[in-house]
Copies of this chain bind each other. A is one copy, B any other.
């Protein structure tokens, strides 16, 4: 096998990197912290995007597009938001290059082409969008505005990792405007539900819905709701966030509407987003030491058929059979590829498609033809079994459903096994060191305690689960009274 992956047990971080690169999802680029999303990785993103886009449209949202650049004066209008992102912004200061008089064939920034006002490359678009909404909203009749944008954003990260943390990434950002607080809060939780539905039922990744503590809130939000997923190393990954922004942006950009009684009121806002980071979550949650494991419902390719033959005559017989099988599978909506390329042996191809996480592999040989069977291998469990060619379409279709469910069940069982209660500081610290996963523990509700715990253990409060049981307890660090447990973990 030409491509080898570092085993998880040996170096989890290197294992992840190997998967992304050798699985043909992405490459590092010549630009610091930016990646190239390769065709196979982008096909995966397209599938995820298309499903999400339909979910957004089914819940009444429309897409639009706002400028990449935000003038500094707009950017700083909502102070908390600006503060939160100021330290990681790419800034455009000039609009022209010129030939270097001292260096033939080279270019320098033209000092005469300095912008009067610097432009921030969007790290998030609340500022430019609320500045625009000001012109769109006069009366309650103009509300709600339910808009989403698919875009690239830039956050200058010092330590980057493919998909998980890159200077540029692709995402969607919903930005909605409402007449009432209740309606905005409803929108916030509705979109959290959409995200949870998508991540669980399409990405096969169980999530915990919760609300962030003030410390972990989006800069400029009144409340940040999140879905948290667990990776195979027990760390948490925030898979999506939905923010109730209150009237903060409306006040910063002076966006008011006249209500039915002709009173001028500030508009209520939400924003919500998921990004290509989800691909990182997908890779880390399901894959193994042989390569990617992709959920059938979003895999770029669901089935690959590999012929095993000697000579043209056998090949022709296999081809004829495969043509029929392909038609049957496609008619059932299954994506399938026949890899009869002659530049690699079957064993090499098997390893390659295992690496790429194609959910089902069908091998078909001359002897199989005589018995009217094929060998069907599933990627998730690596089980192989013979199946009759008659009815192969339905068989594979059902198998894909089974794989989707199995991947989810496996991830859920792992997740549930790795949420542990801690009742004392000693237990808490010991658990962090000896058992990976989330820790459910009492916290006194203060930012100070949260900060101290983070400093001492690198564990953060991932969320206060939405369906949280109320129970009296004492904070693991301060010993002060607490009304509920929260989820702690080290996180990506």
Contact = CB atoms under 8 A, between A and B. Distances in A.
Contacts of A366: none
Given A86-B107, A92-B90, A95-B89, A39 B67 contact: no
Contacts of A42: 62-65
Contact of A67 (B36, B69, B83, B98): B36
A183 interface: no
Contact of A65 (B30, B36, B90, B128): B36
Interface in A167-204: 168, 170
A120 interface: yes
Interface string A140-158: 0100000100011010100
Given A38-B64, A156-B96, A109 B91 contact: yes
Nearest to A107: B76
Contacts of A74: 30
A31 interface: yes
A66 B36 CA distance: 5
A436 interface: no
* Copies of this chain: 2
A107 B95 CA distance: 21
Interface string A87-129: 1111111111111000001110100000000111100000010
A82 B132 CA distance: 34
A34 interface: yes
Contacts of A38: 64
B109 A121 contact: no
B96 A93 contact: no
A45 B37 CA distance: 23
Contact of A132 (B27, B90, B132, B151): B27
Contact of A31 (B65, B88, B95, B119): B119
B30 A71 contact: yes
Interface in A432-480: none
Contacts of A67: 29-31, 34-36, 168
Contact of A86 (B64, B96, B120): B96
A68 B107 contact: no
A43 interface: yes
A141 B170 CA distance: 31
A46 interface: yes
Contacts of A62: 39, 42-43
Nearest to A38: B64
B106 A76 contact: yes
A42 B208 CA distance: 34
A75 interface: yes
Q: Which of A68, A98, A135 has the most C-beta atoms of chain B within 10 angstroms of its own C-beta?
A: A68
A373 to B, nearest CB: 32
A343 interface: yes
Q: Which of A65, A99, A132 has the most C-beta atoms of chain B within 10 angstroms of its own C-beta?
A: A65
A27 B135 CA distance: 10
A36 B136 CA distance: 12
Contact of A69 (B27, B34, B95, B96): B34
Contacts of A106: 76
Given A36-B67, A67-B36, A147-B39, A96 B92 contact: no
18 contacts: A30-B71, A30-B131, A30-B132, A31-B119, A34-B67, A34-B69, A38-B64, A43-B62, A43-B63, A65-B170, A68-B154, A68-B168, A76-B106, A82-B97, A89-B96, A92-B92, A92-B93, A141-B343
